[in-house]
Structure 1
Amino acid sequence: MAFINREKEIKLIKETLKRKKSVLIVIYGRRRCGKSTLIQNVFRGNDIYFLADESESTLQRKLLSESISRVIPGFSDVNYPDWNSLFSNLNNVIRGYNNKLNFYIDEFPYLVKTSPELPSVLQRHIDLNKDSKINYIIIGSSQQMMHSIALERTSPLYGRSDLILKVEPMEIEYLKEFLKCDSVKSVEEYSVFGGVPRYWELRKDYGTLEEAIKKLILDKNGILYNEPASLFRDEIRTHYQAHTLLSIIAQGSSRLSEIASRMNKDATQLSNPLNLLMELGYIKREIPFGENIKSTKKTLYRIEDNFINFYYKYLVPNKSEIELGLTDIVFEKIKNSLPVLYSGIWENVVRKKVSGSELFGIKWSLASRYWESSKNSGIEIDIMAESVDKKSILIGEVKWKDKTDSESEMEKLKEKAQKIPFIRNRNVIYSLFLKQSIAKNKFIITPEDLIY
């Protein structure tokens, strides 16, 4: 696929590789986010690249030595009984070279699965060969294993890394650029495929979003039909619990008590699995604006990954029909609810774009939702943010409709806001974030104003 953005990541990698001493770079992130494509954009012809798999260690060493032979002829002629002998010979051979060599090991966790001693072996060679001419770049999709291999204090490689780079999903404006669509369409596309470049590449093969959803997701032979199982395979030991949690949250249960009740479990039993899903970027914990995350009991959980959200909201409840080949019927069933999905994703986009940005001539801190329990006022505000100088408060309503009575919505918003006690004596900015608007008002923001 065409390489979009990642300029910052490329610059960091290239700058680190230019250092006089040998370096260790750790690159990780969830599958499909473009780690391998990123490496292709910094790879040089005389570098070594090896993609590990789940084969036994003896075969892996043989395959790796053959990859090294592409740059160092004859290297694979030797039989390497263990990893120490392979790295020792590599360091000895490289000593006679004038230039440093970059050594990329992709899917490094697969090697560690069959050879748990490998991180210690690599650590020993890094420590003993301070004048080495080898830059090591280890890459992995298993975020949990990459943490245990290189980022945890107990890991042999802890503290040896010169650069630790987490490759995150991409922002909506890059999807807009890739698909060459307008800002409104980009919200709809982003609601289904999120920020994962590989999904965008697959999507581009189809003329319309509807066709892509039907062929890629709602078809039992679709490429993305079993995608979560592939994503969770290396991260989560018990898939069924993650599958159940995501299904329950996607169907509208957002409070811990509701989730626990539906799973017939005590809430305390869900702490670890929920935390794991948050660490992996699949769900997010939300608290109301103004609350302290350490002390508040007002917590909601939502699915953070847009594709996973779509999958568990629409595919999982209709899987029986999809297995029978009733893709068109399933799509007709979900079609009318898609604008509600788009509205929720538009809310998330708005909060992210407002956070840390300047809007209405004011710099804003982190934007979030605000809600009161039904026992109190029961009000809900889609977006609130405090200015960096703490003098102003932004209060916004988010809508995703073809036609919105902006005057009426603005009045309703102001009326709701009067019930919020801590906005008194503050400069309050009221704003509507709409799908589209014919009214010319600087306090009405549309996708074209935020996604460009």
Structure 2
Amino acid sequence: MPAPTKPAPTKPTALFDRTHEWAELARFCSEPAPGLRVGVVRGRRRHGKSFLLEHLCRTVGGVYTLALQQSRVMALDRFADSLAQGLGFRVGRFTSWVEAMDTAADLLTSRRGDGTPPLLVLDEFPYLVAHSPELPSVLQALYDQRGPSSGKPPLRIVLCGSAMSTMSTLLAGDQALRGRAMIDMRIGPFGFRDAAEYWGLADAPGTAFLVDAVLGGAPGYRDVVGDPPEPAAGEDGFYEWLARSVFNPSHILFTEPEYLLAEDPRISDRATYHAIWEAVASGAATPTQIGGLVGMDAKSLTYHLNIMKAAAFIRYDQDLLLQRKPVITVADPIVRFHDLIVRPNLVDFEMREGRAAWERSRETFSSKVLGPHFEDLARQWTLRYGRERGLDDIGQVGTTTVPCREHRGHEVDVVALSRESRARDKRARITLLGEAKATNKSRTTADLLRLEHIRDLLCAQGWDAEGCVLALYTRSEPAPDLVAAAKEGRVLVVTMAEMYGAGPAPSPLTPPPRPR
């Protein structure tokens, strides 16, 4: 008879959010199925992977070992020490990873426990692979000897790492561990609402938005900013917060992009990758445009762009309606902020003359940092929280460009398809068209007329957009004429407070827009 399944361990109170990630890992570790099962956890630095796995090991009595950038012999000794500390007795020295993993498996499965499968976590796994490239094959052989079909005692191994280009290919193609992992989990940043709560800014959406636009949702940044971690209210409070963190040449965040690039072992010529980052942050969205700014042809950039994509340093956003080349954007808000604000004024910040540099950069910050970030948050809100305003048929959410002879085309910030529709399919039904504005200018019915014009263009081009919701996402209070149009059901107006869930619930007198 199979062993009874124990209840999954409860998430520790010290862990903020990560409810789904904890549930998956806890289930993985608590199921009593026989044999070895392997899990992979990957994500960028400062996203809380190690914190999560350390708590998991403490909860289930697992063995956690954190690899360092050191020699093969030193790494084997460190692994032996971690194993000894977890077991409570010395295990001697290892001369090879075959010996190390076989011994660890034997000792862990021989322990009499409470029925929970023993757990071994190898954190920063890419550091081990760098000097011991045979290690994935060693784990493959261990799996083939002790896998689920072997009938041997249960054992769980989790491989974790921040070098995304290494971790993302660990299970790909003809790699040794291909087909042998049960879990491939990516730990990402917090969503913008969770990040606001984590920073203690749930009731201050304006400040939460500024913090998110600079640092994103990586939880590790809060601990390194200092005390207090959050900015004081007002423009002066926000500048003082920047001045003691991102603008401070003595602070770790001043050189954060350097640390991010150092994560990937394949990146040696960092100047080229910094140039690519800066070009993309400035608005270059295709290999040709990037090459023009960097001084390389598009073909020569292919290798570098592929590495940056695999490492999650850049992302490729596909047009939701049209078959066009994807738009390349910077994935990390802090990198975008550095490339647009810090690097162009590096001398000023190093000389502690940041105030003047910040004043010169305010327009860039507004148009190239806050604007794109607000648009991204509007798309996130539509996908995750749109049901709060009656948006019940939201499938894929993205952007598009609508041809227009009169205006030379329109870029649409938010486009949503119905749940049953597929992207770039002419039969798709468009359920929402939206525009997001991060400026302090009040939005009026002129913005609504533009959306109505875009909707009519799409209908004339054969798209099913007749009954779509028209939405305006605004950082400022809407003008009275727009409020009146919202009450009439012509437009859905989403304020910053509503996006963050900090504002009052929409009045029943202002229902969501109705199909025309």
Same fold (TM over 0.5): yes
Q: Distance in 2 between matches of 1:364 and 1:378?
A: 25
Q: Deviations over 1:96-115 (max 9, x none)?
A: 32233211111111112111
Is the alpha carbon distance of 1:437 and 1:2 closer, same or farther for their aligned partners in structure 2, counting shifts above 3 Å? farther
Q: Deviations over 1:213-253 (max 9, x none)?
A: 22221222121111111111132423222111111121222
Shifted more, 30-39 versus 397-406: the winner is 397-406
Are 1:69 and 2:69 an aligned pair? no
Q: Distance in 1 between matches of 2:56 and 2:30?
A: 12
Is the alpha carbon distance of 1:260 and 1:372 closer, same or farther for their aligned partners in structure 2, counting shifts above 3 Å? farther
Q: Percent of aligned pairs with the same residue?
A: 20
- Asked if the contact 1:391/1:427 (under 8 Å) is kept, the reply is no
Partner residue in 2 for 1:437? 477
- Asked if the contact 2:41/2:186 (under 8 Å) is kept, the reply is yes
The runs of 5 or more residues in structure 1 that have no matched partner are: none
Q: Distance in 2 between matches of 1:251 and 1:95?
A: 54
Are 1:81 and 2:95 an aligned pair? yes
Are 1:226 and 2:259 an aligned pair? no
Alignment of 1:401-420 (within 5 A): 401-420=439-458
Partner residue in 2 for 1:395? 433
- Asked if the contact 1:61/1:80 (under 8 Å) is kept, the reply is yes
Partner residue in 2 for 1:257? 288
Higher relative contact order (CA 8 A, sep 6+): 1
Partner residue in 2 for 1:170? 190
Post-superposition offset of 1:191: 0.4
Which of 354, 374, 398 is 1:346 aligned to?
A: 374
Aligned residues: 446
Shifted more, 398-407 versus 12-21: the winner is 398-407
Q: Give, as a single letter, the amino acid of the residue that structure 2 aligns with 1:448.
A: A
Q: Deviations over 1:100-150 (max 9, x none)?
A: 3211111111112111222222222222234144321111111122234x3
- Asked if the contact 1:214/1:331 (under 8 Å) is kept, the reply is no
Q: Give, as a single letter, the amino acid of the residue that structure 1 aligns with 2:374.
A: W
Q: Distance in 2 between matches of 1:414 and 1:83?
A: 64
TM-score (norm 2): 0.80
Alignment of 1:196-235 (within 5 A): 196-203=218-225, 205-206=227-228, 207-208=231-232, 209-235=238-264
Q: Distance in 2 between matches of 1:86 and 1:388?
A: 50
Q: Give, as a single letter, the amino acid of the residue that structure 2 aligns with 1:331.
A: W
Which of 246, 249, 252 is 2:277 aligned to?
A: 246
Post-superposition offset of 1:162: 1.7
Residue 26 of structure 1 aligns to a residue whose secondary structure is strand
Q: Distance in 2 between matches of 1:126 and 1:335?
A: 56
The runs of 5 or more residues in structure 2 that have no matched partner are: 1-12, 233-237, 421-427, 502-516
Residue 433 of structure 1 aligns to a residue whose secondary structure is strand
Q: Give, as a single letter, the amino acid of the residue that structure 1 aligns with 2:382.
A: V
- Asked if the contact 2:168/2:310 (under 8 Å) is kept, the reply is no
Is the alpha carbon distance of 1:34 and 1:42 closer, same or farther for their aligned partners in structure 2, counting shifts above 3 Å? same
Is the alpha carbon distance of 1:134 and 1:260 closer, same or farther for their aligned partners in structure 2, counting shifts above 3 Å? same
Residue 355 of structure 1 aligns to a residue whose secondary structure is helix
Is the alpha carbon distance of 1:68 and 1:366 closer, same or farther for their aligned partners in structure 2, counting shifts above 3 Å? same
TM-score (norm 1): 0.90
Is the alpha carbon distance of 1:325 and 1:374 closer, same or farther for their aligned partners in structure 2, counting shifts above 3 Å? farther
Partner residue in 1 for 2:168? 147
Q: Give, as a single letter, the amino acid of the residue that structure 2 aligns with 1:345.
A: H
Q: Deviations over 1:9-60 (max 9, x none)?
A: 0010010111222321111111110001111332236321111112112122
Post-superposition offset of 1:360: 4.0
Partner residue in 2 for 1:180? 200
Q: Give, as a single letter, the amino acid of the residue that structure 1 aligns with 2:468.
A: V
- Asked if the contact 2:63/2:83 (under 8 Å) is kept, the reply is yes
Q: Give, as a single letter, the amino acid of the residue that structure 2 aligns with 1:450.
A: M
Is the alpha carbon distance of 1:315 and 1:75 closer, same or farther for their aligned partners in structure 2, counting shifts above 3 Å? same
Is the alpha carbon distance of 1:70 and 1:407 closer, same or farther for their aligned partners in structure 2, counting shifts above 3 Å? same
Post-superposition offset of 1:279: 3.0
Which of 190, 194, 200 is 2:216 aligned to?
A: 194
Partner residue in 2 for 1:53? 68
Q: Distance in 2 between matches of 1:234 and 1:202?
A: 18
Q: Give, as a single letter, the amino acid of the residue that structure 1 aligns with 2:400.
A: Y
Is the alpha carbon distance of 1:333 and 1:72 closer, same or farther for their aligned partners in structure 2, counting shifts above 3 Å? same
Q: Distance in 2 between matches of 1:258 and 1:234?
A: 27
Q: Distance in 1 between matches of 2:207 and 2:468?
A: 31
Q: Give, as a single letter, the amino acid of the residue that structure 2 aligns with 1:302.
A: T
Q: Distance in 2 between matches of 1:342 and 1:384?
A: 20
Partner residue in 2 for 1:451? 500
Which of 101, 107, 111 is 1:93 aligned to?
A: 107
- Asked if the contact 2:330/2:336 (under 8 Å) is kept, the reply is yes
- Asked if the contact 2:214/2:337 (under 8 Å) is kept, the reply is yes
Partner residue in 2 for 1:10? 22
Which of 315, 329, 338 is 2:342 aligned to?
A: 315
Residue 162 of structure 1 aligns to a residue whose secondary structure is strand
Q: Give, as a single letter, the amino acid of the residue that structure 1 aligns with 2:444.
A: S
Q: Give, as a single letter, the amino acid of the residue that structure 1 aligns with 2:211.
A: E
